[in-house]
Amino acid sequence: MLGSKDIFLDRAKRELSVMQMNHCGIQECEKGHMWQFQARPYHLLHFVLHGEGSLKISGRMLNVHAGQAFFIPAGMEGKYIASLQNPWKYAWIGFYADNGNKFIDLLFGKNEILDLALPAKELEKEILSILSVMDKRLQDVAIYQEEDFPGEQFFSIRNFSASLEANSRMLHLFARLLETQGDIKKLTKEEKNLAKDAKNYMDRMYSRDIRIQDVAGILHVHPNYLSTLFRREYDQSPREYLRKVRMNQAKLLLATTEYSISDISSDVGYTNPFQFSKVFKSCYGISPTEYRNMRQ
């Protein structure tokens, strides 16, 4: 018999889900087509499905092409223009979220343009899945044929049940974006420094009984966020790095000193020598005592 279990989202995860869709659409633009946007209370996220164009925002003109997304924060003004030679087709989602929302920070950092890992066809079908909530011609997205559907489609949510369904599909798309982007999005200088600070802290403090939650607390970030940045910068999790630092120091002490296993365990941050021995053997296939005997 299964016992009762409650599942809670931590605060950072709740912030990720506090996003409300306003509208979405797809448009295939004519050559040189321009759209000038005024300040709006919601964010706009565009996905370029094919072609290219340019975005003018914050006084800068940025070139954008197929396989990229661009983000227009709430309250911003500017314009975007389709290329004269290779006009773009794009999809967009307008959504409400706080400016400090973690989804936006994790996906774009401080940039307006993002190289996408999710293929254009998959992105388009995700958008069509959202649109199908209101347009029943699109319900079977799996057999959608581009030539059978007009090049422009958009809608705003008008009833509560459709709003919930469309919002859940938008969040599903956002989850896929976060899942696929980790390998290609470059870290900002600030993010690199955060990962480096975590590494330096563990290099100095490995001999104490610290955990990744403690490192994240010192740096005033969420442990999951720190782990994501650290893995992308150093190709390993902070937990793996801390264990490696401790085990390397343990090997040195085993080979060059007569300290007891208990003392070495304490010197590399383990309060329980049995736990230390278990971790050591999982890393090297032999116990600390066996390693010492081999090195002497």
Please, what are the domains in the chain? 11-181 (2.60.120.280), 189-238 (1.10.10), 240-295 (1.10.10.60)
Gap between the Cα atoms of 9 and 44, Å rounded: 26
Q: Please state the three-class secondary structure of 109-151 as a single string.
A: CCCCEEECCCCHHHHHHHHHHHHCCCCHHHCCHHHCCHHHCCC
User: What is the sign, positive or negative, of the torsion defined by CA atoms of 259, 261, 263, 269?
Assistant: positive
| Grouped pLDDT means (10 residues each) for the chain, 296 residues | 41 59 88 90 92 89 89 90 94 85 77 82 87 64 48 56 85 85 69 94 95 92 84 83 95 94 96 94 92 87
C-alpha distances in Å from residue 50, one per residue of 23, 132, 197, 233, 283: 21, 22, 40, 31, 48
Gap between the Cα atoms of 44 and 175, Å rounded: 17
Give the pLDDT confidence score for residue 11 in this predicted structure: 45
C-alpha distances in Å from residue 87, one per residue of 29, 63, 244: 6, 12, 51
Nearest to 203 by CA among 277, 114, 268: 268
Give the pLDDT confidence score for residue 12 in this predicted structure: 46
Gap between the Cα atoms of 222 and 164, Å rounded: 28
DSSP 86: S
| Verdict on whether the full-model pTM lies above 0.85 | no
For residue 230, give the H/E element and its range. Answer: helix 223-234
Give the pLDDT confidence score for residue 7 in this predicted structure: 37
Residue 270, both tokens: 């383990």
Write b or e for each residue in 188-205: b if 16 or more Cβ atoms lie within 10 A of its Cβ, otherwise e. eeebeebbeebbebbeeb
For residue 32, give the H/E element and its range. Answer: none
Per DSSP, what are the bridge partners of residue 119? none
Give me the sheet containing 20-28, strands edge to edge.
Answer: 113-115, 68-72, 43-50, 89-96, 20-28, 152-156
